Structure 1
């Protein structure tokens, strides 16, 4: 439903092994492509083996082609910091050496200013002890890596999962971005029901929730971080007492996961970037694919058509006014 002016830009990030730096950005709305490669060094067309010798000066990196109107550079920076240890000079996790350093390679002065501001914000947050050593440097030539390394998380799923876990990256990042301080902050701004639903996978009462029979035109956003998730144009009366939709605004902002609780086998749905528990996916919907996204009202906030522009969601107006 969202539209853009099709302007595209490049963003280049080094964050250790490039296998683990593709998935976090891939297939998000506004992300055109994510390529693994090498940059920041002094040799042309390096190979993986050459970069690993630590003699080329290159870092393993990803280059992202994105549409800033749909996914701004500031959001890319926020997501980037959540993938790395910015205090480590010697590499990332169990990958050691200069080729595994962290760096933000900026393509223009605007990116530099935004990157510097983002780095200062991270430092001021106190989330990391010690100095933030991630460099912000001018982007130079970027050399795509061999085909074997492209989208490794898809082409070598089992090996990728084992590497991702074994490297220590997952456990480290979980400890830095899901802290008690983060939880206290959510408790302070969410109601008790909203917190239990979004963080502890509770289910609100049927027919006793805000949006089950809501009929206004607009967008339903993630109550935690404001990401646009569903449109009233795709809402239908499922007869269940919860708001139901035939599809999300963009599949890239929804994550599906197995839910084996309550003695059932179900598919739970979460917002990808907010990690907000939303509800469940069923296959009894009215569309050709029969998808039925049953969502808790407590996970959502409604933004009416009249307020979309003011709320930074003007790009979705075309879905209502053409």
Structure 2
């Protein structure tokens, strides 16, 4: 970085943050924090888990619903699994939702409902990795931990004109981020860098003219800011195929299954179905007069695209199956289904 001894990046970012901090339902504004208001660790933890690989705009409504329904970690710890999964539907990565509930239960049962305030202790909680532990420790408890998300990586890559591609350059970027993290106001500083990346040092067309740290930015001096950070090309996602079987009795009850605890959509309610693969279709869960519906369900997971065909049948009242769950009409809530299963239900309902 040019003029690193003359330009105080941390102070410039904090001054900018004091004037331009984004308003978020989980955030304590810098003026309030200066007046002694501390963030609620529960809300910081919840927001950070929700924000993993998801945008702020997508998370806001989910966060408000969660905290309205479960305003404390103790309330969340006592929530039924299906309700938490239902509220989570649409955010994806359901393992995070399962760990969310486990973490709330551990904090409630083993820590008296109070989140531990150090990086190492936070790292021992279910579902909390290095990034989340650092973010909670810095933002909720004002500890000088290095917070490195996608926004911070981009800012560091440009400030120091680093051309090594991600993810291999992460250690180098983290080293620079750690060197800039101040001992004073580290929580506000962490949020300032993330805000800078989200609003000014954006992936495309960064607004360098109004950037508070344009002076020492090595990429701006070299004219390479729009090319950074470089990333290793991703492999194309494969396509998988599957079948879903929706069976409803004459009185409105559905036959459903609970998926295995491990794997995609682990532990969640859904429709019986085939394996998701590029191979031939499997047989239905039980012999019946199945009819395939027109259309198909398309859904994208982290590592593959999925296309589902939907089959349906009507059963007499009282029909059951040893391996399936009879879900009575009054107990069935589409909102409790993961998104892909809700898409299948919506297609079934529309025909």
State TM-score, norm by structure 2. 0.27
Give the structure with the larger helix fraction. Answer: 2
For the pair shown, the structure with the greater C-alpha radius of gyration is 2
State TM-score, norm by structure 1. 0.29
Give the structure with the larger strand fraction. Answer: 1
